[in-house]
Amino acid sequence: MLLDQDHTGLMQTKTHPRQLGIPLSRWGRNLIACCPFHAPEETSLFFYDALGYWRYRCLQCGAAGDLVEFVMRSRFNGLEEPAARAEAIDFLGEQEQEQVPDTFQDEHPWIREVGGEKSKVLECFVRYCHWAACKSPSSAEYLAKRGWNIGQAQLYGIGYYSGDPEPFASYCLLSGVERHQIRFYLDNLEAYHEPRITIPARNSKGLIHSVFGRLIDDNMHSHAYVSYASGPCDIPFNIQPENEKPIIVEGFFDALTADLAGIPGVVSTMYQEVTQSHLLKLKACGAETVTLILRREPNRRTQEYRVQRYLKMAEEIGLRFKSIILPKDETVDQVVRKNGADELLSLIAHTEEDTIHTHRRSMLLQDIKENFDTAMGCPPDVNVGYTLSDFPRLAKEIDGVQSGCFYVSAEPFGLKTSFLSSLALDLIRSNPKLKLIYIALETPRRQIFDKLVAMMIGESVLTVRKQNADEQMNQKILETTKELISYVRNNRLEIWEDQPSFDNTEMLSVLKDEQKEHPDLVVIIDGIDHMKISDRPDLVDIHERRSSVMLDIYKALDIPLFLGGELVRSEQGLEGPRPYLRDSDAIYWLESKGGNLFLSVNSKRLGANHLYEGYLEMHPLSNKMQEVQ
């Protein structure tokens, strides 16, 4: 039935399955019992309150309905339907009469409940989306990909919204909800018009405070998750009262799949960082020990510091704390579906409670194992780092361009920019998933454009700066420029130049955001001698300060970081700012020897003083460099 509001008044006075007189067990946030309709010995009958009142559904035989229908079928199935319905309502009414004080009998349930009118509107929206999900093939297809069927989804009020508010508005008129109430309480409903799976979020009293929408088509350029109703963001999703050991996960389906598997007290932060408010709300619901399960992030160091911050927040309010970092590319949803609920519960049980010391130790053990697994997963004939096509022997000797802080210099000095530009172009062309950020602190950005185009077509920079008499050359420049534009449009190349406000603090903040979207990130800073420094005033030497902040950036990001600056060769070897020579993982030194270019890569940190030595050739017009074939 679309409206599902026969005897709704009775249902919303909080009739409860315990009035039915049958044995019940807790299963996640739901209740389960043996199904009397197909197999009394099979525990497959779920009682759930996802629609604002209790209903039942058997996941085996498909029997479903509200509590009046359950009483009709189980107690009065020998009567005609009108008589059975009247008997069932009388039965539940008598039971409810005993539980509800007389002073509340004439009071409207939406006024009596904390949620008030907002909860009425939101639960109406959830019931509508619940009905729409049963009619929508696209929602069934999406849920099937996540391992859910419609029957399971209905236990949690998961529904479907097409993005068109008009059918819902018509439904609301029949349900006693006015259009102005929709606009007031579902204030984001008309802002998003894409088809989405809807997921209601309830507070600890069971009242809906928001309804979230998850995109069905991930190719749409819109937010994956949105909230149709503005509401509190610090209420953990799926929060339940009287829960001593809640488990905090990140995603909606992580929490829902674990709950469906019968794991009690699984809540989600809805992809937000854990806050003190989240922990306080869990403690108010009886929490004594909190277990936090996180997906592994590319930057393990940042994640470790964040978990230590969560640990301190839990200690401040007297909560015991456990943290678990899942293996790479795994989620709670996948772990439960693949290995079952017992595997996750066993993992939690065998994880010791965190202190700062135990947390560091457990993170270290995980890192050692991950480091070994990564090494053993790379075949001997495959480079660990990014490949290079124009410098194949260099790539072989250094095992690909790997994470590190590398200092690049040359004699004469101007050659280092040509080498860095050649390296940048080679990295972009040879690694389709890589993103490169070229920070030009010595030259205007336009000159880097011209240099790259000139290298790509094998002509001088002067040729690409104006129209040529040769039309074929103009066409060649046009096509190459389009290729360069495609790298920018596909977010694989950015070229930054110096700005009055540009400093290392701003750089690190922007690069952290970039790395979230592009884990395969390489940064080249050409002209480190001109880098503005805004912190570490305790270091007097400017080179010491620059080197220090570059190390901070490298440690925070753990990516290949090339720094172009000035060194000189003397009888004692390479000389220059000592911090760079000391702190760099490798020194790239390019010099002209008898008309030939000679590149050496030296590193005491990587186990050999001379990693690579070889001759390069430079194109006579474009200055593009590559190894001598």
Whether the pLDDT of residue 13 is over 60: the answer is no
pLDDT in tens, 392-410: 999 999 999 999 999 999 9
Looking at 374, 405, 429, which one is the last position of a domain? 374
How far is Cα 628 from Cα 4, in angstroms, rounded to an integer?
A: 78
Coil, strand or helix: which one is 35?
strand
37 and 148 together in one domain:
no
pLDDT band at 94 (very low <50, low <70, confident <90, very high): low
Q: Is residue 79 part of a domain?
A: yes
Q: Is residue 385 part of a domain?
A: no
494 and 530 together in one domain:
yes
Residue 95's pLDDT is 54
Q: What secondary structure letter does DSSP report for 20? A: G
Q: Taking a C-beta distance cutoff of 8 angstroms, is the pair 33, 21 a contact?
A: no
Q: Sort residue 576 into left (φ over 0), alpha (ψ -120 to 50) or beta.
A: left
How far is Cα 192 from Cα 195, in angstroms, rounded to an integer?
A: 9
How far is Cα 365 from Cα 234, in angstroms, rounded to an integer?
A: 32
Q: What secondary structure letter does DSSP report for 234? A: -
Residue 91's pLDDT is 79
Q: What is the CATH classification number for the domain harbouring 316?
A: 3.40.1360.10
474 and 611 together in one domain:
yes
Residue 291's pLDDT is 94
137 and 80 together in one domain:
no
Whether the pLDDT of residue 8 is over 80: the answer is no
pLDDT in tens, 472-497: 999 999 999 999 999 999 999 999 98
Q: Which of 330, 305, 319 is nearest to 353 (CA)?
A: 319
Residue 3's pLDDT is 41
51 and 118 together in one domain:
no
Q: Taking a C-beta distance cutoff of 8 angstroms, is the pair 442, 530 a contact?
A: yes
Backbone angles phi, psi at 309, to 5 degrees: -70, -40
pLDDT band at 279 (very low <50, low <70, confident <90, very high): very high
Q: Which of 141-150, 533-542, 564-573 shows the lowest mean pLDDT across its residues?
A: 533-542
pLDDT band at 96 (very low <50, low <70, confident <90, very high): very low
- Total number of domains constituting the chain: 4
pLDDT band at 374 (very low <50, low <70, confident <90, very high): confident
398 and 544 together in one domain:
yes
Q: Is residue 384 part of a domain?
A: no
127 and 142 together in one domain:
yes
Residue 517's pLDDT is 87
Q: How many CA atoms lie within 13 A of 115 on its CB side?
A: 21
Q: Taking a C-beta distance cutoff of 8 angstroms, is the pair 238, 267 a contact?
A: yes
Residue 67's pLDDT is 86
- Which one has a higher pLDDT value, 109 or 186? 186
Structure tokens at 73: 């079928």
Q: What is the CATH classification number for the domain harbouring 178?
A: 3.90.980.10
Q: What is the CATH classification number for the domain harbouring 91?
A: 3.90.580.10
Q: Is residue 379 part of a domain?
A: no
Q: Sort residue 193 into left (φ over 0), alpha (ψ -120 to 50) or beta.
A: alpha
Q: Taking a C-beta distance cutoff of 8 angstroms, is the pair 29, 205 a contact?
A: no
Looking at 374, 403, 435, which one is the last position of a domain? 374
Q: Could you give the C-alpha distances from 223 to 160, 318, 517, 615, in angstroms and in order?
A: 17, 36, 14, 50
Residue 537, domain extent: 392-627
- Which one has a higher pLDDT value, 508 or 589? 589
258 and 399 together in one domain:
no
pLDDT in tens, 417-461: 999 999 999 999 999 999 999 999 988 889 999 999 999 999 999
Q: What is the CATH classification number for the domain harbouring 588?
A: 3.40.50.300
Q: Is residue 386 part of a domain?
A: no
320 and 307 together in one domain:
yes
On the 0-12 / 13-18 / 19+ scale of CB atoms within 10 A, 345 is middle
Q: Is residue 259 part of a domain?
A: yes
pLDDT band at 267 (very low <50, low <70, confident <90, very high): very high
pLDDT band at 113 (very low <50, low <70, confident <90, very high): very low
How far is Cα 147 from Cα 257, in angstroms, rounded to an integer?
A: 9
146 and 184 together in one domain:
yes
How far is Cα 244 from Cα 241, in angstroms, rounded to an integer?
A: 9
Q: Is residue 380 part of a domain?
A: no
Q: Taking a C-beta distance cutoff of 8 angstroms, is the pair 40, 111 a contact?
A: no
Structure tokens at 380: 């001997």
Q: What percent of the chain has pLDDT over 90?
A: 34
Q: How does the average pLDDT of the chain come out, rounded?
A: 85
Residue 256's pLDDT is 92
120 and 102 together in one domain:
no
pLDDT in tens, 508-528: 888 988 988 888 999 999 999
Structure tokens at 313: 């927040």
473 and 608 together in one domain:
yes
Backbone angles phi, psi at 552, to 5 degrees: -60, -40
Count CB atoms within 10 A of the CB of residue 101: 6
Looking at 312, 339, 374, which one is the last position of a domain? 374
How far is Cα 481 from Cα 474, in angstroms, rounded to an integer?
A: 10
